[in-house]
A = this chain, B = another copy of it.
Amino acid sequence: MEVQEFEKELRKKTEQVEDVLKKYQPEETGLQHTVIEAMNYSLLAGGKRLRPILMQETFEMCGGKGEIVEPFLAAIEMIHTYSLVHDDLPAMDNDEYRRGRHTTWYVYGDAMGILAGDGLLNYAFETALRAFGMCSGDGELMQRVALALFTLARKAGIHGMIGGQAADIQAEGQEDPVTEEQLLFIHENKTAALIQASMMIGAILAGASEAEVRQIEKCAYNIGVAFQIQDDILDVVGDSRELGKPVGSDAQNHKQTYVTIKGLDTAREAVESLSGEAVEILEGFDGRHAFLEQLVLMLINRQK
């Protein structure tokens, strides 16, 4: 696929996700309208919508059809968004800006920022649960929805994303330098877990076999970890204009990264090997996967 064609396709798919988000966003009414406004302010702040796109593409690659995936597309983005809203809080990273506008707590206050995050996490499950109403009593489809929900909850929770965030905070507070084991644990859980949830849910809802879902889980692990290592590489060699943050800022902050621990060459080899394996897994699937492959390579090999 030509680069231009790919980018056009990507824009189209991003717009489709935006439409789904607008369809499932909560209505801003009632005496609690402010918290709902804060939720929608965060949810509709733009962003690449990579997780829903990865879910939709995996769903289609595995032969999925119909709208059963839609509540989950919205739910995964709500969970990703709540994690950013809580990350930005003064008690966490204390960020005033994200994606060129003020963060949720900065606009609505700390307390409302906490509640908006809670609201988005809770509403993600409320939204995903609506898939049961689309099963028309089909027992097998209900089983798939139940498994998709369980995957969502598991990968977003203490054995997934929250676990990664907690380990990150714990590591920042320790005196000893961060170990390779800790770093990989944080990358795997903080970043890769939601990518795994996205792609696994796509596969599960499409009716993929257990073995296929395990393959997708491995593929998404590679994508998430390679993405993070590439981030560490770009911090050392990237163009600061393209990257949007000063090159070498991790080293200046004495932050341990994959590159500081293993060296640049090993880091590059790891990205190469992880992404090669990810693409190989995708090529093992019969369904159309050209776009998905290109998306994965774009994510991993980006220069900014």
Residues in B whose Cβ lies below 8 Å from that of A125: 125, 149, 153
**Contact between B142 and A146, CB atoms less than 8 A apart:** yes
Q: Are A169 and B121 in contact (CB under 8 A)?
A: no
CA distance A3 to B157 in the complex (A): 43
Q: A119 CB to closest chain B CB, in angstroms?
A: 5
Question: Is A272 part of the binding interface, using a Cβ–Cβ cutoff of 8 Å?
Answer: no
> A148 to nearest B CB, angstroms?
10
A112 touches B158 (CB 8 A): no
With CB as the reference atom, state the residue of chain B lying closest to A164: B32
Taking CB atoms, residues of chain B closer than 8 Å to A169 are 111-112, 115
Known: A26-B158, A114-B86, A114-B114. A32 touches B166 (CB 8 A): yes
B166→A115 contact, CB < 8 A: yes
A17 to chain B, nearest CB (A): 22
Chain B residues lying within 8 Å of A158, measured Cβ to Cβ, are 26, 32, 35-36, 39, 119, 122-123
Taking the closest CB of chain B, its distance from the CB of A71, in whole angstroms, is: 12
Known: A86-B118, A158-B26. A111 touches B139 (CB 8 A): no
Q: Determine which residue in A82, A123, A137, A162 has the highest number of CB atoms from chain B within 10 A of its CB, and name it.
A: A162
Question: Could you list 19 further interchain pairs (A-B, Cβ under 8 angstroms) beyond the known A30-B185, A112-B169, A142-B143?
Answer: A31-B170, A31-B185, A32-B162, A32-B164, A32-B166, A35-B158, A35-B162, A82-B118, A86-B114, A114-B114, A115-B165, A117-B118, A118-B118, A118-B121, A119-B158, A119-B162, A126-B150, A126-B153, A126-B154
A residues in contact (CB < 8 Å) with B: 26, 30-32, 34-36, 39, 82, 86, 89-92, 110-115, 117-119, 121-123, 125-126, 129, 132, 137, 139, 142-143, 146, 149-150, 153-154, 156-159, 162-167, 169-170, 181-182, 185-186, 189
**Contact sample, A vs B, 19 pairs, CB 8 Å cutoff:** A30-B167, A30-B185, A31-B163, A39-B158, A90-B91, A91-B91, A91-B113, A91-B114, A92-B110, A115-B165, A118-B121, A119-B157, A119-B162, A123-B157, A125-B149, A129-B153, A137-B139, A142-B146, A149-B149
